A and B are shown apart, each in its own frame.
Chain A
Amino acid sequence: MTPDWLPSPTPDVNAETRAFWESAAHGVFLLKRCQDCDVVIWYPRELCPECGRMNTEWFAASGRGSIYSYTINHRGEGAYKDASPFVVAYVELEEGPRVLTNIVDADLNSLAIGDAVEVVFTGAGEGTALFRFRPVAT
């Protein structure tokens, strides 16, 4: 199984991303959508990197996705020095973006690319929370 507990370092928050992290602390995964070209944007920013305009709005994402790739990291560093083995993954959200994250509450031996996952939030201090994902029972 993945570890019962993972470190939760406080993320770097700036003026463009504050709403994202504060919503995460309330259990809502926000994404930005371009109001001009309708594309969903990741990582969150004011500028749409597809059309180059600055007309983006937040919306609440589904919190569901699937594993695009993952690795069992046996050599954690920094805050994660004593957390190994733990899972680092890219999860492809239903809305399109592939987000870097951790997989939690999972059997390490049965994880697979393509597995369905859903978001869970872990408090990370200073009014923020980290988004992580756990397998969805099928």
Chain B
Amino acid sequence: MTIKGKAFIAGAYEHPDRIIPDKSLSQVSAEIVLGALADAGLGLSDVDGLLCAGDTPGFGAISLANYLGLKNLSYLDSTETGGSSYVLHVGHAAMAIAEGKCKVALIVLAGLPRQSGFYGVSHGQPPELGFEEPFGLTIPSGYALAAKRHMYEYGTTSTQLAEIKVAASHHAQYNPNALLQKRVTVEEVLESPMISDPLHRLDCCVITDGGGALVVVAPEIARALVRHCPKVLGHGEAPKYATNGRIDLTFTGAVYSGPRAFAEAGVSVGDIDYASIYDSFTITVLETIEDLGFCEKGQGGRFVEDGTLQAPYGKLPLNTDGGGLCNNHPAFRGGMTKVIEAVRQLRGEANREVQVPDCEIALAHGTGGFLGTRHGSATLILGREDA
């Protein structure tokens, strides 16, 4: 059983707004859903699969289906793995389609954190709570613990981390919807206020309202649509946590999810023309690049120097929408926009200045949760419709 070639992404839509003061969450979800379906050339009545995660309040997929009035649903999936959920959902949608459970699957992310601060649902008290919560661990400080240890083991520097933000800002200057469109220098990153040593403010992603949606369809539907529909080639997923309390902060779950995705897709890192890699913080990108095999473990700092990540001519054009660091990180969850920009690149519809020439194979990777404690990891490999 493989999902390779058995599902296609027919619709992808990113909400154009980054600050939304005057709409309800469900209203924003509906705008996003209609946008993605219009992009695909499909309608609400065509949808028979619905996938969403912890950003969807209430009864998850049931509440959302109820609001949207979806009448033909035969597959539901509310798998929650934080910001990686939507990358993972593409794999789950493809599996459901391959097994004949649905033909048109909708994946939805929406949030209004600038209104509400809502991170997503949390059910009860997890068993680790007492051993983490009382010590003032914030989200940035967990990533800072990882960065500090990576620096200690491999000699990674703040300047190297800053290169990742510089590349994101280089791309964001061409994205008229990006929250931060100004190019920044390494010096500006290093001079920005320290949030949690060694991470500066400009090592951290933006906080934005909005979201996005994807429409994943069966091959016969993709063939009938006018739109270019990138092909799902493979996906991998895994949790990463502190194995019996012996946490290793220097690697991510990409060491597990990456090889699974590459094996299913039948491609290697050298085949990847474009990569969307989760950039909640600069250190997230650096560790993930190593873990996916784009360079040797510990060499991420050197790899990102000299414009490696800058489109269109860098060795590994990365997050050409400006990523979470500059463009958008809706609902504190970056996985959706990672897939959307990969779809744009494969369609040749990225912003002109950052479009990778002849982009055939793209990778999207999500890291949902926290490098400092535990996270979900999902890797997705897509190809052009004719790949």
Whether B145 lies near A71 (C-beta < 8 A) is yes
Q: What residues on A are CB-neighbors of B22 within 8 Å?
A: none
What residues of chain A lie closer than 8 Å to B198, measured between beta carbons?
71
Across the two chains, which residue of chain B brings its CB closest to A11? Answer: B130
B134 / chain A contacts, CB cutoff of 8 Å: 8-11, 124, 130
A41 to chain B: closest residue by CB: B244
Among A1-40, those with CB < 8 Å from B are 6-14, 16-17, 21, 39
Q: A75-B195, A97-B244 are in contact. Are A14 and B127 (CB under 8 A)?
A: yes
Partner of A6, one of B136, B152, B244, B373: B136
Identify the stretch in B87-95, B96-104, B245-253, B378-386 within 8 Å (CB) of chain A at 4 or more residues.
B245-253
Say yes or no: is A66 at the interface (Cβ < 8 Å to chain B): no
Contact, CB under 8 Å: A88 / B135: yes
Contact B125 A70 (CB under 8 A): no
- CA gap between A79 and B245 in the complex, in Å: 25
Structural contact, B135 and A102, CB atoms closer than 8 A: yes
Chain A's nearest CB lies how many Å from the CB of B194?
5
> How many A residues have CB within 8 A of the partner chain?
47
Interfacial chain A residues near B132, Cβ < 8 Å: 100
Closest A-chain residue to B128, C-beta based?
A43
In the complex, A43 Cα to B243 Cα: how many Å?
A: 10
A13's partner among B130, B146, B152, B194 (CB-CB below 8 A) is: B130
Q: Closest Cβ of chain A: how far from B373's Cβ, in Å?
A: 8
Q: Which residues from chain A contact B242 at a C-beta distance below 8 Å? A: 42, 98
B136 touches A69 (CB 8 A): no
Contacting residues of chain B (131-160) with chain A, CB-CB under 8 angstroms: 131-138, 140-141, 144-146, 148-149, 152
Give every chain A residue within 8 A of B152 (Cβ-Cβ).
69, 113
Q: Which residues of B contact A39 (CB under 8 A)?
A: 244
B108-138 vs A, CB cutoff 8 Å, 1 = contact: the mask equals 0000000000000000010111111111111
Q: How far is the CA of A42 from the CA of B130 in the complex (A)?
A: 12
B38 to chain A minimum Cβ distance, whole angstroms, is 40
**Are A101 and B135 in touch, CB under 8 angstroms?**
yes
Cβ of B197 under 8 Å from chain A: yes
B196 pairs with A74, CB closer than 8 A? yes
Interface contact B197-A11, CB-CB below 8 Å:
no
Flag if A90 contacts B247 (CB, 8 Å): yes
User: Does residue B193 face the partner (Cβ distance < 8 Å to A)?
Assistant: yes
> Is B131 a contact of A75 with CB atoms below 8 Å?
no
Task: Given A45-B127, A73-B141, A75-B196, answer yes or no on A83-B244 (Cβ-Cβ < 8 Å).
Answer: no
Contact string against B for A residues 92-113, beta-carbon threshold 8 Å, 1 for contact and 0 otherwise: 0000111111100000000001
Once the chains bind, are B193 and A86 in contact (CB under 8 Å)?
A: no
Residue among A41, A69, A90 having the largest count of chain B Cβ atoms under 10 Å: A69
Asked if B138 and A12 make an inter-chain contact with CB atoms under 8 angstroms apart, the answer reads no
CB 8 Å contact bits of A107-138 with B (1 = contact, 0 = none): 00000010000000000100000100000000
Q: A42-B245, A74-B197 are in contact. Are A88 and B133 (CB under 8 A)?
A: no
Inter-chain contacts of A16 with B (CB < 8 A): 127
Find out whether the CB atom of B148 lies under 8 angstroms from the CB atom of A113. yes
Contact between B136 and A89, CB atoms less than 8 A apart:
no
Minimum CB–CB distance from A4 to chain B (whole Å) comes to: 15
Considering only residues 38-74 of chain A, those with a C-beta below 8 Å from chain B are 39, 41-43, 45, 49-50, 68-74
A79–B244 contact, CB under 8 A?
no
Q: Nearest chain B CB to A132's CB is how many angstroms away?
A: 8
Please measure, in the bound complex, the distance between the C-alpha atom of A39 and the C-alpha atom of B244, giving whole angstroms. Answer: 9
B contact residues around A88 at 8 Å (CB):
135-137, 141, 145, 196
> A74 touching B194 by the CB < 8 A rule?
yes
Q: Nearest residue in A to B244 (C-beta to C-beta)?
A: A49
A32 smallest CB distance to B (angstroms)? 10
How many angstroms between the C-alpha atoms of A70 and B196 in the bound complex? Answer: 10
Known contacts A75-B140, A90-B247; is-contact A130 B149 (Cβ 8 Å)? no
Question: Lowest 5 CB-CB distances: which A-B pairs, in order?
Answer: A42-B245, A80-B136, A11-B130, A97-B245, A71-B144
| Given A70-B148, A73-B144, 12 more pairs with CB closer than 8 A | A11-B133, A12-B125, A13-B130, A41-B244, A42-B246, A49-B244, A68-B247, A71-B199, A73-B197, A75-B196, A97-B244, A100-B132
25 contacts between A and B (CB under 8 A): A8-B134, A11-B130, A11-B131, A13-B130, A17-B130, A49-B243, A69-B145, A70-B145, A71-B144, A71-B196, A72-B196, A73-B144, A73-B197, A74-B196, A79-B136, A88-B136, A88-B137, A88-B141, A88-B145, A88-B196, A90-B247, A90-B249, A96-B245, A100-B137, A113-B152
